Structure 1
Amino acid sequence: MYTNSDVTLYLYSKDGSTVKYTRKPIEGVYWEDVRQSTFLRTGQRDACSALLVIPLESLDGPIKFTQGKDLAAKGIIADEIDSSSQEALSKSLAALKATHGYVTITMVDDRLYGSETMQHYELSCK
């Protein structure tokens, strides 16, 4: 499978009222930025999104995604998200957005069938 980038995923998990983001760097993924424009009577509306394809062979094993909560940042990033308090979480997310930018994973399509070299995840991100 053709790959053109590395990515760092921040996987969301919640245990009771405790929110946590787990950092997962992945090498060898396909990242495609997608730009769309819609023309309305009130003006033009632009939308930027990304298509992310992660080959299963680039991972240690299957991943459990949380749509609408998980984050992806282009490149291997060492920054962790501090989720010790709501304020720390908010500051960490703002700092990550300002420094590296990230997209939110909005849709996950598991393509875990066929030969092992073709199994992958397709993620739509905003």
Structure 2
Amino acid sequence: MNRTETVSLYDRLGRFDGIERIVRDVMEAHLANPAIRTRFEASKDLDHARKMAVEFFCAGCGGPEPYTGRDLLAAHKGMNINEQEYMAAMDDILAALEQNGIDPGTRGEVTAVLYSLKNQVIRV
């Protein structure tokens, strides 16, 4: 049995503190990414968006923290996010995972999760 089979995704991402660091790095990357920067610069409350992202990742990865935000479909409805924007966001997430020392197998697992969620974000 390998490490990814015995240690939860939540633990492999560094639990709450690790996920919070990753989300911080993701948000910084989004604000610097010309493909999606304007969407984040226009946010009315970036701190709230960051908090919701931390909660979402923690809860979705098996952590004890509850997610108190809207479901993905409701949160992205009317934003008309296109495929290129979604891929740019994914690239930022994967780069932040690598920057934080997350192993390739775990990054692959996160990639699969992100792909599984795209229909709740793209063009809704």
User: Which range, TM-score by smaller chain?
Assistant: under 0.3
TM-score (norm 2): 0.26
Task: Please report the TM-score for the alignment, with normalisation by the length of structure 1.
Answer: 0.26
Structure 1 or 2: larger strand share?
1
Whose radius of gyration is greater, 1 or 2?
1
Q: Which has the higher contact order (CA 8 A, sep 6+)?
A: 2
